[in-house]
Chains A and B, each alone.
Chain A
Amino acid sequence: MSPLTGQVINLFASVLLLIAFAMLAQRRIVTLINLFAIQGLALVGSTLTVAWATGQHHLYWSAGITFVLKVVALPLILHRLIRRLNVKWDIETLINIPTMMLVGIVLVVFAFNLALPISQFSQSIARATLGIALACVLMSFLMMITRSKAVPQVIGFLAMENGLFFAATSATYGMPMVVELGIALDVLVGMVILGVFMFQIREQFDSLDIHHLEQLKED
Chain B
Amino acid sequence: MNLEGLVAQLLAMAVALVGAPLLAGWVNMCRAWLQNRRAPPLTMPFRTLHKLFWKESVVARDASPIFRVAPYIVFGCMLLASLIIPTLSTNLPMATAADAIALVGLFGLARLFISLAAMDIGTSFGTLGARREMLVGFLAEPAFLMVVFTASLISSSTSLATTVSTLAHREFAILPSLAFAGLAFTMVSLAENARVPVDNPATHLELTMIHEALILEYSGRHLALIEWASSLKLFAYSCAGLAIFFPWGIAEANDHVALLWALPALAAKLAIGGFALAAIETTLAKMRIFRVPEFLATAFLLGVLALLVHLLLGA
Which A residues form the contact surface with B (CB < 8 A)? Answer: 3-4, 7-8, 10-11, 13-15, 17-18, 21, 25, 97-98, 101-102, 104-105, 108-109, 112, 128-129, 131-132
22 CB < 8 A contacts A-B: A3-B173, A4-B174, A7-B173, A7-B174, A10-B176, A10-B309, A13-B313, A14-B177, A14-B180, A15-B176, A21-B301, A21-B305, A25-B294, A97-B294, A97-B297, A98-B293, A101-B300, A101-B301, A105-B308, A108-B305, A128-B312, A129-B313
Distance, CA A59 to CA B304, complexed state (A): 32
- Counting from the closest, the 4 A-B pairs by CB-CB distance are A14-B176, A98-B297, A7-B174, A10-B313
Interface of B is mostly: helix
Chain B 286-307 interface 0/1 with A at a Cβ cutoff of 8 Å (1 = within): 0000000110011011101100
B298 is contacted by which of A15, A25, A129 (Cβ under 8 Å)? A25
B104 at the A interface (CB under 8 A): no
Residues of B within 8 A of A8 (CB): 174
Residues 207-259 of B at the A interface (beta carbon under 8 Å): none
Distance, CA A128 to CA B310, complexed state (A): 11
Question: Is the pair A108, B308 in contact by a Cβ cutoff of 8 Å?
Answer: yes
Question: Is the pair A17, B297 in contact by a Cβ cutoff of 8 Å?
Answer: no
Residues of B within 8 A of A129 (CB): 313
Distance, CA A101 to CA B305, complexed state (A): 11
Distance, CA A109 to CA B177, complexed state (A): 15
Shortest distance in angstroms between B94's beta carbon and chain A's nearest beta carbon?
35
Residues of B within 8 A of A98 (CB): 293-294, 297
For chain B, give the interface size range. 20 to 34
Question: Is the pair B313, A128 in contact by a Cβ cutoff of 8 Å?
Answer: yes
Q: Can you name the residue of chain A whose Cβ is closest to the Cβ of B300?
A: A101
B314 at the A interface (CB under 8 A): yes
Question: Is the pair A105, B304 in contact by a Cβ cutoff of 8 Å?
Answer: yes
Question: Is the pair A14, B297 in contact by a Cβ cutoff of 8 Å?
Answer: no
Distance, CA A104 to CA B312, complexed state (A): 16
Distance, CA A155 to CA B173, complexed state (A): 34
Residues of A within 8 A of B308 (CB): 105, 108-109, 112
Residues 169-206 of B at the A interface (beta carbon under 8 Å): 173-177, 179-180
B315 at the A interface (CB under 8 A): yes
A101 is contacted by which of B175, B180, B297, B315 (Cβ under 8 Å)? B297
Question: Is the pair B174, A128 in contact by a Cβ cutoff of 8 Å?
Answer: no
| Other contacts beyond A10-B174, A14-B176: 17, CB < 8 A | A4-B174, A7-B173, A14-B179, A14-B180, A17-B309, A18-B302, A97-B297, A98-B293, A101-B297, A101-B298, A102-B297, A105-B301, A105-B304, A105-B305, A108-B305, A112-B308, A129-B313
Shortest distance in angstroms between B180's beta carbon and chain A's nearest beta carbon?
7
